[in-house]
Structure 1
Amino acid sequence: MAAPVSSAPRTVGEIYRDYTARRAGLVRALTSDVEEFYAFCDPEKENLCLYGTPSGSWEVSLPAEEVPPEMPEPALGINFARDGMKRRDWLSLVAVHSDAWLVSVAYFFAARLNGNDSVRKRLFNMINDHPSVYESMVDRKQRENKSGVDNSVKSKTSTKVTRLAFFFVMQRSSDGKMKNSRSAAVEDGFEDDEEHSETLCGTCSGLYNSNEFWIGCDICERWFHGKCVRITPAKAEQIKQYKCPDCSKKSSRQ
């Protein structure tokens, strides 16, 4: 059973961050963690629900025992239909229900925003800036299919180099500064958009796009849109070791 909400978000910013974190967890369950998620949804078990958590993780568990529940509940009994449908159709159904649940949770919290229509409209627009869970899942599948075709004509050596370049790209530029960003990978010809399409921004949970500037935290190893952490390519060139906002706060407390 999902843990109760200990501190409900009370502002547009807090509700939005709660939404993006829960959304990130659900996207991960239906894409990069899909095999683990599929195994959890055993039809022989009781009614199960897929939850996205405020920490950005996901869990499959029984629904809340409270009646009425403390907050909106996701679709009940998703495991029962798993073996009676094509896998793709079942995952799509779970994704659509997950989108409906995310919106219902966000507006459950937003109902307490002092009846301000303009504030709720702002929240609506912020949420709509993100692709839905269903869209993210379909996009990931299409990228994987395309990657499968492309990889058939690539050498194993080339693929290995691409992976290493993504995870360990700490190239020195001609002036000796460290290039600690996605742009460095692109400049050096190592970036593989399909290979890493599951990467999510640590701030807004948006999916990776090679047309945007990203930067990686050297402490927690998460990736961020440059615009989300207010880092430009020029500024990144001057940073020897980048700490994301969360890691910077932790360092200041120690």
Structure 2
Amino acid sequence: DKPFVSPNPTIPFSLSFCVVGMDGGAQYNPRTVEEVFRDFKGRRAGLIKALTNDVEEFYRQCDPEKENLCLYGFPSEQWEVNLPAEEVPPELPEPALGINFARDGMQEKDWLALVAVHSDAWLLSVAFYFGARFGFDKADRRRQ
């Protein structure tokens, strides 16, 4: 992978792992190390897209007047702003709740950076969830 360079120079932050997302109804269960990494990369690409190329649409969808919203990244490299899963407990770790509430109280670049940080944490939690769920054996963990 090449280093990420924002196509929007007005957003001066870097996205190390930005990705967020549930699978919206369809069950997706990566079962190998390669599948978990592919899931991670797809979700990451979706979040980067939301926070860079699609930033105007993302900003518009995060209306502070709406309910607690979350940014989801999907393995398909797509993103969505939506309410958290109604399933309790949720199948996957949830992304940061209420990303829309702070939007108008901060400068746009600072708000986007905050969403990016929470997205990084969520992305890693999803990858660790899949890794722990399937208990990859020692050979799988050492594979390069």
Per the normalisation by structure 2, the TM-score is 0.78
In structure 1, the partner of 2:109 is 88
> In structure 2, how many angstroms separate the alpha carbons of the residues matched to 1:115 and 1:57?
27
SS in 2 for 1:111: helix
Structure 1 consecutive aligned stretches of length 4 or more whose deviation exceeds 4 Å: none
In structure 2, the partner of 1:40 is 61
Deviations 1:107-136 (A, max 9, x none): 1111133353563466xxx8xxxxxxxxxx
Larger relative CO (CA 8 A, sep 6+): 1 or 2? Answer: 2
SS in 2 for 1:32: coil
Q: Which has the larger radius of gyration?
A: 1
In structure 1, the partner of 2:39 is 18
Query: Is 2:110 the partner of 1:70?
Result: no
Deviation at 1:74, TM superposition (A): 0.2
In structure 2, the partner of 1:52 is 73
User: Is 1:41–1:78's contact at 8 Å kept on the other side of the alignment?
Assistant: yes
Q: Name the aligned partner's letter for residue 99 of structure 2.
A: I
Query: What runs of 5+ residues in structure 2 fail to find an aligned partner?
Result: 1-21
SS in 1 for 2:134: coil
Q: Name the aligned partner's letter for residue 52 of structure 1.
A: G
Flag the 1:117–1:38 CA change in 2: closer, same or farther, 3 A.
Answer: farther
Deviations 1:60-111 (A, max 9, x none): 0000011111110100000000001111111000000001111110111111
Q: Name the aligned partner's letter for residue 121 of structure 2.
A: A
In structure 1, the partner of 2:132 is 111
Q: Which runs of structure 2 are paired with 1:67-216 in the superposition (5 Å)?
A: 67-116=88-137, 119-120=140-141
Between the aligned residues of both structures, percent identity stands at: 67
In structure 2, the partner of 1:211 is none
Deviations 1:149-203 (A, max 9, x none): xxxxxxxxxxxxxxxxxxxxxxxxxxxxxxxxxxxxxxxxxxxxxxxxxxxxxxx
Per the normalisation by structure 1, the TM-score is 0.46
- Give the RMSD, CA atoms, in angstroms: 2.0
